[in-house]
Amino acid sequence: MDTSKIWLSPPHMGGKEQQYINEAFLDNWIAPLGPNVNFFEQQLEAFMGQSRFVAALSSGTAALHMALVLLGVKAGDEVLCQSFTFTASANPIVYLGASPVFIDSESESWNMCPLALEAAILARLNAGKKPAAIIAVHLYGMPYKHDEISAIAEKYDIPVMEDSAEALGSIYKNKPCGTLGDIGILSFNGNKIITTSGGGAMVVKEQAVKQHAIFLATQARDNAPHYEHSQIGYNYRMSNICAGIGCGQMEVLPQRVIQKREIHSFYTALLDNLPGVEVFKEYATHSLSNFWLTTITIDTKKSSGRTAEGLRLAFEAENIEARPLWKPLHLQPVFKNALYFGEKVAETLFNTGLCLPSGTGMTDIHKERISSVILRYFN
Ligand SMILES: *Cc1c(COP(=O)(O)O)cnc(C)c1O
């Protein structure tokens, strides 16, 4: 019997990745520049459409950091950030000497609550502190309520940083996630829907902004034969080797979205009729999730004592990885002094939810092992 580890969302190669890497070796493009970097950017630009420009960077976190720099965030500023997210969404605020102000989620998309956002803006304006930026996140691939968030952002003239690290391939009202904010960011970490092993990208509206981002990401070197610098730069460009993996992965991205959505359907059929269990689904037809991870919540009032943690442990006993939802950042020890606006939506999700194994390489045997754990736990 197969008892090998089933991971939450492992890398899934398409087959062409090594070919691009071999070409890089043959031509000695072993550097954070080269034909794979340029081609990967072209592929992403074609995929995103909307006349957007893409700069490939070393990680999603690096992209977030530089995006905040480009949006003008500086020491002493406050940045409004969704609380229900991975810590990488907020860390770059602190890198810049600014402070995060955390915002609760609403229960339909699990993302930034427009009401809590506006309450936070009004409270901070009253305190004489105009927030410098908004960081909204498409968590687990589910698009946030862009129309509502951007209406508030425009009303108070605050730029939006769109964290689309988990949502490559998701769509909001016919527009790809990543193209909705003033700046969008993507991640190609090993667990994301496609990977470059480690990597990220910034999605911007103008060619000149892309060029400036690349300039800053390559140590802000001025045009001179020697090394001349009139600004502080970063070493954040993507390696041509990593980009080679990305070029191969882009060929299978549409297929990966279909596969992630099929995994979501598999779980919906399996779980939706079990007492107290709810599979997280799209709240409107205009909002299409890539279902990077399929997630569920368990209402213990209806589940006869079964819990998300109980199910996680049942998976663990069978060498299957499931994981609690993101712990809201306002509850993290490192952010204990940060301001927070909202109720307990994110906190309740954290206490009742679970991420299920969602790897697109999942085999029928994996599915049988997963089904049998679920059926045993609920019987
Ligand atoms: C993965 C992730 C990031 C960071 O991306 P890295 O490439 O790992 O640095 C940022 N935000 C969210 C929501 C993520 O899931």
176-218: pLDDT as tens digits: 999 999 999 999 999 999 999 999 999 999 999 999 999 999 9
CB-based burial of residue 310 (10 Å sphere; 0-12 exposed, 13-18 middle, 19+ buried)?
A: middle
Give the contacts of 93 (CB within 8 A, at least 6 positions apart).
68, 73, 79, 81, 99, 100, 135
Q: Are 193 and 292 in contact (CB under 8 A)?
A: yes
Percent of the chain beyond pLDDT 90? 98
In this prediction, residues 345-362 reach a mean pLDDT of: 98
Q: How far apart are CA 216 and CA 237, in angstroms?
A: 9
Ramachandran angles phi, psi of 111, nearest 5°: -110, -175
Q: How far apart are CA 81 and CA 84, in angstroms?
A: 9
Q: 83 C-alpha to center of ligand 1: Å?
A: 14
Q: How far apart are CA 325 and CA 227, in angstroms?
A: 46
Structure tokens at 292: 């990077």
Return the number of other C-beta atoms located less than 10 Å from residue 257's C-beta: 23
Local confidence band at 1 (pLDDT 50, 70, 90 cut-offs): confident
Q: What is the pLDDT of residues 126-183, one digit of tens each?
A: 999 999 999 999 999 999 999 999 999 999 999 999 999 999 999 999 999 999 999 9
Q: How far apart are CA 51 and CA 186, in angstroms?
A: 17
Q: How far apart are CA 364 and CA 214, in angstroms?
A: 44
To test the pocket of ligand 1, the residue of 9, 81, 89, 323 to mutate (highest count of ligand atoms within 8 Å of its CB) is 89
In this prediction, residues 114-130 reach a mean pLDDT of: 98
Could you please report the per-residue DSSP string of 14-41? Answer: -S-HHHHHHHHHHTT--SS-SHHHHHHH
Classify domain 254-378 at the CATH class level.
alpha beta
Which residues on adjacent β-strands are paired with residue 55?
Answer: 202
Q: Are 102 and 83 in contact (CB under 8 A)?
A: yes
| Fold topology of 17-252 | Aspartate Aminotransferase; domain 2 (3.40.640)
Q: How far apart are CA 379 and CA 377, in angstroms?
A: 6
Chain centre to alpha carbon of residue 1: 35
Q: What is the pLDDT of residues 43-97, one digit of tens each?
A: 999 999 999 999 999 999 999 999 999 999 999 999 999 999 999 999 999 999 9
CATH 3.40.640.10 maps onto the chain at 17-252
Q: 92 C-alpha to center of ligand 1: Å?
A: 11
Q: Is the CB of 111 under 6 A from ligand 1?
A: no
Q: How far apart are CA 251 and CA 231, in angstroms?
A: 37
Q: Are 341 and 119 in contact (CB under 8 A)?
A: yes
Closest to 50 (Cα-Cα) out of 159, 176, 181, 183: 176
To test the pocket of ligand 1, the residue of 8, 86, 137 to mutate (highest count of ligand atoms within 8 Å of its CB) is 86
Q: Is the CB of 187 under 6 A from ligand 1?
A: yes
Q: Is the CB of 164 under 6 A from ligand 1?
A: no
Closest to 38 (Cα-Cα) out of 247, 250, 251: 247
To test the pocket of ligand 1, the residue of 8, 163, 185 to mutate (highest count of ligand atoms within 8 Å of its CB) is 163
Q: Is the CB of 152 under 6 A from ligand 1?
A: no
Q: Are 157 and 183 in contact (CB under 8 A)?
A: no
Q: Is the CB of 85 under 6 A from ligand 1?
A: yes
pTM: 0.97
Q: Is the CB of 166 under 6 A from ligand 1?
A: yes
Q: What is the pLDDT of residues 32-57, one digit of tens each?
A: 999 999 999 999 999 999 999 999 99
To test the pocket of ligand 1, the residue of 162, 187, 197 to mutate (highest count of ligand atoms within 8 Å of its CB) is 187
